[in-house]
Structure 1
Amino acid sequence: MQQSGNIAADTPIWPTLWRGWRRRCPKCGSGPLLSGYLKVRDTCPVCRQELYHHRADDGPAYLTILIVGHIMAPLLLIVFEAWRPDPLVLFTIFAVGCVALSLYLLPRLKGAIVAFQWARGMYGFAPRPG
């Protein structure tokens, strides 16, 4: 296997990211990655892949804010310009929408970030043998 630094060159990134998005182990794809809403398991219960090396930190929260903001801000402007709803109605609908979208995206983005780190051999994840 060719490697550039600690990057595993032949680890397929998109299937790995998809497993992380589904909150599954980046190695086997069948074991659960998270033990709670955001708590990453120390090891996969199926393949015993060590997962405690991850360093997701604030990355999922920043990405969630970025995505939710870029979806909801233009939508807020469109709804306001098209229908001019009462401000309290507008606030209520978009507050609930922002919270719901954030709660949906946060664990999925955390899984994708941990899967990306695993695929690239970052932060103590050993590069995968061919």
Structure 2
Amino acid sequence: MAAAAFFALCPRCGAKGLFSGLTGFAPKCGTCGLDYQAFNVGDGPAAFLTMVIGALVVGPVLWVQLTFEPPLWVHLVLWAPVILGATIWGLRVTKAALLYAEFQRKAIEATGKDIRPE
């Protein structure tokens, strides 16, 4: 599961190409045809990452401010790329992990019918 999440691999066949953009899933796997749109990852990864990345960045920001007292633009130049990169990377990994977990557990919508071909 970790390899599939970190390298954005298809949960069925292991092919690359889970994402079509920075954080958006491709419509389906180019190798096995698994429909990625059938999975409902939701907004959980975004909410989780907001808290985790915020908590991890506040400590170093405070340390830099209290130690060096730089102007505001230094913080913007220093921390904006860190936050942006961590957010995009984190969204990709957590969304891929949740999709993989849904596939592995054969999670389906509450309609009761399986919408994914095996």
TM-score, scaled to structure 2: 0.75
RMSD, matched Cα: 2.4
Distance 1:95 1:36 in 2: 21
Structure 2 unaligned blocks of 5 or more: none
Deviations 1:15-67, CA, capped at 9 Å, x for gaps = x2430331110122224212223332343222233322211121221122123
Distance 1:123 1:81 in 2: 50
Deviation at residue 114 of structure 1 after TM alignment: 1.0
Say if 2:100 is the partner of 1:119.
no
Instruction: Map 1:75-86; keep pairs closer than 5 Å.
Output: 75-86=60-71
**Distance 1:91-1:40 versus aligned 2 partners, 3 A rule:** closer
Which position in structure 2 is the counterpart of 1:5? none
SS of the equivalent of 2:38 reads coil
Which position in structure 2 is the counterpart of 1:13? none
- Asked if 2 retains the 8 angstrom alpha-carbon contact of 1:31 and 1:47, the reply is no
Q: 2:26 aligns with which of 32, 41, 45?
A: 41
Which position in structure 2 is the counterpart of 1:4? none
Query: Bigger shift: 64-73 or 31-40?
Result: 31-40
Say if 2:7 is the partner of 1:60.
no
Instruction: Map 1:1-130; keep pairs closer than 5 Å.
Output: 16-123=1-108
Which position in structure 2 is the counterpart of 1:9? none
Distance 1:20 1:69 in 2: 22
Larger RCO of the pair (alpha carbons < 8 Å, separation 6+)? 1
Structure with higher helix content: 2
Task: Give the total of aligned pairs.
Answer: 112
Structure 1 unaligned blocks of 5 or more: 1-15
Provide runs of 4+ in structure 1 moved above 6 Å: none
- Asked if 2 retains the 8 angstrom alpha-carbon contact of 1:17 and 1:115, the reply is no
Distance 2:28 2:85 in 1: 29
